[in-house]
Amino acid sequence: MTTLEDGRRILAELMGADYVATKDKKRNSFNEAIQEYSEEVCFGRTWARDGIDRKQRSIINIAMLTALNRPNQLRHHIEGALTNGCTVAELKEILLQTAVYCGLPAAGEAFRIAEEVLRERGLLD
C-alpha cells in the first residue's frame, strides 16, 4: 500500500468515510496538492507511524490546536479523539490543563467547541 493510500485509509478511520468523500468532491486543481500533502505527509507519513497509538495522537492534537487557536481543526480532532476512544472525562481533563498553560481564553473557546461536538453526539447530560 502506498503512503497516500495509507493516509486516506487512516483519515477515513479517523473522520469517517463521509468526511473523505466530501473532501474528494471538493478536490480541484487548486487544492489537490494540499489535499495530497494532508493525506500523505500528515496521515500516511505521521499518523501511520507506530510508537504511540491513535488516541494519543488525537490528544496531542487537541492540545496543540487549542494552543494554536485553530477552532475548525480542533473540532475535527475532538471528533477524532472520541472515535479513537478518548472519553468525555479525559477530554475534560485535557482541556482543563490547557487553561493553565495556554490561558483561560484559549481553554474557554476549546470547551465551547467541545460542548458543541458532545451535544451533537448526545454525550452531554
Q: Which residues of the shown chain bind its own copies in the complex (CB under 8 A)?
A: 28-31, 33-34, 37-38, 41-42, 45-46, 49, 51-52, 56-57, 59-61, 63-70, 72-73, 88-90, 92-109, 111, 114-115, 118, 124-125
**Shortest Å, Cβ 17 to its own copies:** 20
C-beta of 5 vs 115, nearer to its own copies = 115
- Minimum CB–partner distance for residue 95 and its own copies (Å): 7
**CA separation for the pair 3, 82 (Å, rounded):** 25
Q: Which is nearer to its own copies, 85 or 105 (CB)?
A: 105
Shortest distance, position 48 Cβ to its own copies, whole Å: 11
> Does residue 62 contact residue 81 with C-beta atoms inside 8 Å?
yes
Reference 94, options 76, 114, 80, 119; nearest CA is: 114
Residues in Cβ contact with 65 at an 8 Å cutoff, skipping those fewer than 6 apart: 71, 73, 74, 77
